[in-house]
Structure 1
Amino acid sequence: MTESQNPVKVDIWSDIACPWCFIGKRKFEDAVERYGRPVDIEYHSFELSPDTPVDFEGDEVDFLAKHKGMPADQVKGMLSQVSGIAAEVGLAYDFEHLQHTNTVKAHELLHFAKANGRQREMKERLLSAYFEEGRHVGRIDDLVALAAEVGLDPEEARLALTDARHLPDVRADQAQAQAYGITGVPFFVLDGRYGISGAQAPEAFLQALEQVGSEADR
């Protein structure tokens, strides 16, 4: 095979409030590291629960029990299982202190970060803040603080969130997801042609990267 410097383009639809998206991110990063060739990653917006209030009263168990109609004991068991899977890829989920919220402003911030060359850093920071640190990721003040932590200008970030300048970008991502038929996340689109749904094993991602990369070399 002839080595090509052309990166594989990967578009990833995900939500900040999606535990499998953070797990899938780690597994995909493992595959990218093994692949060893350039991969161009871009994140896109997807809201799992767009009707969620910014300040939700209750914890993650309350949210899932009410919105999914599941018994609390069943929810606790499910969250324990997810935490165990997260731990296997080095993540320390803290569902007890997680602050459930509406994620549209976080998605707007991700587009602001993309425009300023910091999208991947912002995505990682938001996921870690939400799932591991019990930080609020739905209010402008909290999001501005997180933006500053990854090197973004806090006042510019505040202006962008206040005037919702990137809301059309969020809606465009969601429209594209609908056009692709994406109904759940994480969802990975490689080279605009191959779709992979869910937090797959690194080996599955690696195989897909290698296939797309070899096709680009022909």
Structure 2
Amino acid sequence: MLIEIWSDVVCPWCYIGKRRFERALSDFQNAHPELDVEIAWRSFELDPNAPQQRTEPMVEHLAKKYGMSVARAREIQAQVSDAAGEEGLSFDLDAAKSGNTFNAHRLIHLAQNKGLGDAMKERFLEAYFTEGKPIGDPDMLIALAEEVGLSRGEAERALHDEATSRAVRDDEALASELGIRGVPFFVIDRRVGISGAQPPATFLQVLEDALGQSAPLASSTDDDATCTDEGCAVDS
């Protein structure tokens, strides 16, 4: 079974959804130990035109981008942080240093080719949402790549490699073909799709249903637990 997950490393629901999905997948694999499951992380940039690093506080940027008050933006951040806390995640959105995520996606592709894709994805999410590290800083990204087992040289080369650039663009083109406009989005064997940071029980049911499904791609959506280029939903 191939499970492809489109997400971005600055998407809060992608981190929350990763945790919820992991819980469901653990139960699913315990029930089907004979099944070989492959996870493929796919690239999706929520703001492909973002500068390499943003200097203004995240809450102010969100308020301006989505035409809301700073107070409302803080309220949304608090609600998302509460949802993260329920999954054992500690968000510090006041410290988050946003920026362009293209290079992060390139390094995830490099890591995935070496069997380290999940570790790289997790490390970038933790760095951004918990540690306040600048997600668009190439030096920081390379240092984190070294932490998960990539060499500095190969990480540096990946940030100038046409192959990693093409891999990101191919993921984004495929997302468009499949009609994916928000993340996280999970695709099972290119037949079943599910959108949003669903509850673990929902993920588990979809995985079970996918075992016997032979129809073309059908998707289930949950707009309350996704991020798009227009913003991130509040309710979980």
Moved more, 138-147 or 31-40: 31-40
**Counterparts of 1:64-83 in structure 2 under 5 Å?**
64-83=62-81
Q: How many residues get paired?
A: 209
**1:103 is matched with which residue?**
101
**1:194 is matched with which residue?**
192
Alpha-carbon shift at residue 74 of structure 1 (Å): 0.5
Please, what is the CA RMSD of the aligned residues? 1.2
Task: Identify which of 17, 38, 41 aligns with 1:24.
Answer: 17
CA contact (8 A) 2:53 2:135 kept: no
Moved more, 136-145 or 88-97: 136-145
Change (3 A) 1:55 1:215: closer
**1:5 is matched with which residue?**
none
**1:4 is matched with which residue?**
none
CA contact (8 A) 1:12 1:187 kept: yes
**1:89 is matched with which residue?**
87
**1:121 is matched with which residue?**
119
Distance (Å, rounded) in 2 between the aligned partners of 1:66 and 1:163 = 34
Q: Deviation above 3 Å: which 4+ runs of structure 1?
A: none
**2:144 is matched with which residue?**
146
Distance (Å, rounded) in 1 between the aligned partners of 2:152 and 2:94 = 29
Alpha-carbon shift at residue 14 of structure 1 (Å): 0.2
Distance (Å, rounded) in 1 between the aligned partners of 2:93 and 2:26 = 29
**2:4 is matched with which residue?**
11
Write the deviation string for residues 62-117 of structure 1: whole angstroms up to 9, x where unpaired: 11112111111100000000000000000000011100111000001111111222
Report the AA paired with residue 51 of structure 1. N
How high is the TM-score relative to the length of structure 1?
A: 0.92
Alpha-carbon shift at residue 213 of structure 1 (Å): 2.3
Q: Which has the higher contact order (CA 8 A, sep 6+)?
A: 1
CA contact (8 A) 1:126 1:146 kept: yes
How high is the TM-score relative to the length of structure 2?
A: 0.86
Write the deviation string for residues 146-199 of structure 1: whole angstroms up to 9, x where unpaired: 001001111111111134530110000000000001110000011111110100
CA contact (8 A) 1:16 1:127 kept: yes
Change (3 A) 1:140 1:164: farther
**1:41 is matched with which residue?**
39
Distance (Å, rounded) in 2 between the aligned partners of 1:125 and 1:97 = 16
Unaligned runs of at least 5 residues, structure 1: 1-7
Alpha-carbon shift at residue 137 of structure 1 (Å): 1.9
CA contact (8 A) 1:144 1:154 kept: yes
Distance (Å, rounded) in 2 between the aligned partners of 1:29 and 1:51 = 31
